[in-house]
């Protein structure tokens, strides 16, 4: 998959699902990476083609992901909402907002893998599995 890395200071925002959707920044994240969806190529035989190269048509898109390290705080409202969405299997809208340029918006399912360290701090990785098209928004 193609990987996009965003500059330090880029943000991930979670939508509230309202008719006029408002996006709230997910705090305490590290640097963000995004595996963009790729199209699956389906090879098919073409005996009439004299070249020896296979022919292909576009198939389904693979799911991409957005990931970032997270200092998980179960008392932080947005973190608690992400955990609730993960446990319920709730798909929501998200945005990746680069330091400069237009935001990427997409539907996705959050997955938080968190661990408590010896000093009683939660750390882990937030991964949002894309479930639909990625669009650019201003």
Q: Spell out the residues 6+ positions from residue 13 whose beta carbon is closer than 8 angstroms to its own.
A: 23, 24, 25, 26, 94, 95, 97, 103
Going by DSSP bridges, is the β-strand pair 103-116/135-137 parallel, antiparallel, or unpaired? Answer: antiparallel
Sign of CA dihedral 27, 71, 111, 61: positive
Structure tokens at 27: 């705090």
Count the domains in the chain.
Answer: 1
Q: Which residue range(s) make up the domain with 78?
A: 2-137
The average confidence (pLDDT) of the chain is 86
- CA separation, residue 76 to residues 81, 100, 135 (Å): 9, 27, 28
pLDDT in the model for residue 1: 47
Higher per-residue confidence, 119 vs 137: 137
Checking if the pLDDT of 3 tops 60, the result is no
Query: What's the pLDDT tens digit per position in 91-104?
Result: 999 999 988 888 99
CATH of residue 120's domain is 4.10.410
What is the maximum alpha-carbon separation in the chain?
Answer: 68
Query: What's this model's pTM, rounded to 2 decimal places?
Result: 0.80
Q: Which of 58-72, 78-92, 102-116 has the highest mean pLDDT?
A: 78-92
pLDDT in the model for residue 88: 96
CA distance 97 to 14: 11
């Amino acid at each position: 998959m193609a990987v996009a890395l965003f500059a330090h200071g880029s943000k991930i925002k979670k939508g509230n699902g309202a008719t006029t959707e408002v996006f709230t920044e997910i705090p305490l994240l590290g640097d963000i990476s995004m595996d963009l969806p790729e199209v699956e190529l389906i090879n098919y035989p073409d005996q009439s083609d004299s070249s020896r190269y296979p022919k292909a048509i576009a198939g389904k898109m693979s799911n991409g992901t957005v990931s970032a390290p997270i200092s998980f705080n179960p008392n932080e409202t947005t973190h608690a909402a992400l955990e609730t969405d993960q446990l319920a299997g709730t798909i929501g809208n998200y945005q990746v907002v680069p330091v400069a340029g237009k935001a990427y918006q997409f539907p996705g399912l959050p997955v938080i893998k968190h661990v408590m360290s010896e000093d009683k701090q939660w750390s882990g990785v937030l991964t949002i599995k894309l479930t639909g098209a990625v669009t650019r928004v201003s």
